[in-house]
Chains A and B, each alone.
Chain A
Amino acid sequence: MKRRGSVLIGSAFVALAALAFAAPRVVAADKIDPATEAKAFRNYFTAKFPKVKLDDFVNGPYSMNADMRKQWVEKEEFPPYEFAVDAGKEMFAKPFKNGKTYADCFPNGGVGIRQNYPHFDAKEGKVVTLELALNRCREANGEAPYSYVKDEMASLTAYMAFTSRGKPFDIRIPDDPRALEAYENGKRYFYTRRGQLNFSCASCHVQSPGERIRAEILAPALGILNAMPIYRSEWNGMGTISRRFVTCNSQTRAVPLEPQSDEYRDLEYFLSYVSNGLPIAGPGARP
């Protein structure tokens, strides 16, 4: 009975919250200007954390907690993602059964290009992420796709990020209404509350970066994808951007979407775009 009571309180609360927002918020015909929005996004974080250097935001919790940073600096001498980078390098060089390699699928042989993903594909009319491009490359060469969340996919993206370290995110939104829509959809996903806990991505990563959630320190949304993929001690291994999205969703008690669903692709587009100019720092290590 106790449990049911709390559920009802929960739903009553949602209902009240809905009422509170029901008062129509008159927003002048929203004209989307991603460049201005990205600037506002960045300013929010630099104003909230005046002591954190802009490029340091990519280091997530370490940019906001001195103790964690000390441990991390020591850990970086022997980073736990090293095995993944090596495995990724080996996999990347190994030809497919048809003799071609990943390098044939990517500009510049796949080296130093992480900062350009995700990009908007005009032919498909959708956002293409690096993880998606990797699996498409495999499929185009007659190989079975990898799981999007860890292992091989994490190793490949770890290697590709490693070769791109320090390069600033350079995400473009072409003059195409579909690209703008993808950006807008990603933004909406980011701010939309979901799950029984009624959290949006922004609840943690905009409103509370640097704060603790249980034993963890929340990372700021600015630069949050620059360090992907990450070795998480909590996961006992590597995880991709897909894995991060899926776990974030289920932690708020929302049933996660399938990896590389349109929503996640758009979300990655939005999050990467607003971090334009910040350097790639992946692969990263997080507790």
Chain B
Amino acid sequence: MASTIRVRATSSGDITEVQALIQHPMDSGFVKDAKGEIIPPHFIQQLKFEHDGKDVFVADWGPAVSKDPYVKFSFKGGKKGDDLRISWVDNKGASDTTTAKVG
């Protein structure tokens, strides 16, 4: 199975711009299915981007984030060829991790 995380990180000068798309249902727990039954909550609780052993972006999410979330941010530091480690954990304990190279 392909990774649930897509990342693109590009550095220009001393700024690294990161874009990520994560595949996740992000069910809020307030929505009903076609049969009228509640779809149980299932959402990412924490999303983390690490560069050089340091967290550069940490998001604590709740049920209000939409399906297949997209994130864009930039941080100082980081150069071409550096590793960027991305991970998420959801409320059911599932998780995924990937490593991307800064380009």
Q: Does A82 contact B (CB under 8 A)?
A: yes
Q: Does A90 contact B (CB under 8 A)?
A: yes
Q: Does B76 contact A (CB under 8 A)?
A: no
Residue of B2, B19, B21 near A80 (CB, 8 A) is: B21
Chain A residues with Cβ below 8 Å from B2 are 86-87, 90
- Mark the stretch among B40-48, B62-70, B82-90, B95-103 that contacts chain A: B62-70
Chain B residues with Cβ below 8 Å from A77 are 8, 19
Contact flags B66-84 to A (C-beta < 8 A → 1, else 0): 1110100000000000000
Q: Does A36 contact B (CB under 8 A)?
A: no
Q: Does A261 contact B (CB under 8 A)?
A: no
Q: How far is the CA of A236 from the CA of B66 in the complex (A)?
A: 8
Whether B67 lies near A83 (C-beta < 8 A) is no
Whether B8 lies near A78 (C-beta < 8 A) is yes
Q: Which residue of A lies closest to B25 (CB)?
A: A236
Whether B19 lies near A236 (C-beta < 8 A) is no
Q: Does A168 contact B (CB under 8 A)?
A: no
Residues of A in contact, count (CB < 8 Å): 11
Whether B6 lies near A236 (C-beta < 8 A) is no
CB distance from A124 to the nearest CB of B (A): 33
Whether A82 lies near B21 (C-beta < 8 A) is yes
Whether A78 lies near B6 (C-beta < 8 A) is yes
What are the nearest 4 A-B pairs in CB distance?
A236-B67, A83-B23, A78-B21, A78-B19
User: Residues of B at under 8 Å CB distance from A?
Assistant: 2, 6, 8, 19-21, 23, 66-68, 70
Q: Which residue of A lies closest to B66 (CB)?
A: A236
Contact flags A66-86 to B (C-beta < 8 A → 1, else 0): 000000000001101011001
CB distance from B21 to the nearest CB of A (A): 5
Q: How far is the CA of A78 from the CA of B67 in the complex (A)?
A: 15
Chain A residues with Cβ below 8 Å from B23 are 83
Q: Does A237 contact B (CB under 8 A)?
A: yes
Q: For chain A, what secondary structure do more than half of its interface residues adopt (helix, strand, loop), or is it mixed?
A: mixed
Chain A residues with Cβ below 8 Å from B66 are 233, 236
Q: How far is the CA of A82 from the CA of B66 in the complex (A)?
A: 17
Chain B residues with Cβ below 8 Å from A80 are 21, 68, 70
CB distance from B7 to the nearest CB of A (A): 9
CB distance from B18 to the nearest CB of A (A): 11
Whether A83 lies near B8 (C-beta < 8 A) is no
Chain B residues with Cβ below 8 Å from A90 are 2
Q: How far is the CA of A237 from the CA of B24 in the complex (A)?
A: 11
Chain B residues with Cβ below 8 Å from A233 are 66
* Given A83-B23, A86-B2: A78 in contact with B70 (beta carbons within 8 A): yes
Q: Which residue of A lies closest to B72 (CB)?
A: A78
Interchain residue pairs with CB less than 8 A apart (15): A77-B8, A77-B19, A78-B6, A78-B8, A78-B19, A78-B20, A80-B21, A82-B21, A83-B21, A83-B23, A86-B2, A90-B2, A233-B66, A236-B66, A236-B67
Q: Which residue of B lies closest to A75 (CB)?
A: B70
Q: Which residue of A lies closest to B2 (CB)?
A: A86
Q: Which residue of B lies closest to A235 (CB)?
A: B67
Q: How far is the CA of A141 from the CA of B8 in the complex (A)?
A: 39
CB distance from A21 to the nearest CB of B (A): 39
CB distance from A250 to the nearest CB of B (A): 14
With A82-B6, A236-B67 given, name 8 new contacts (CB 8 A).
A77-B8, A78-B6, A78-B70, A80-B21, A80-B70, A83-B23, A83-B68, A236-B66
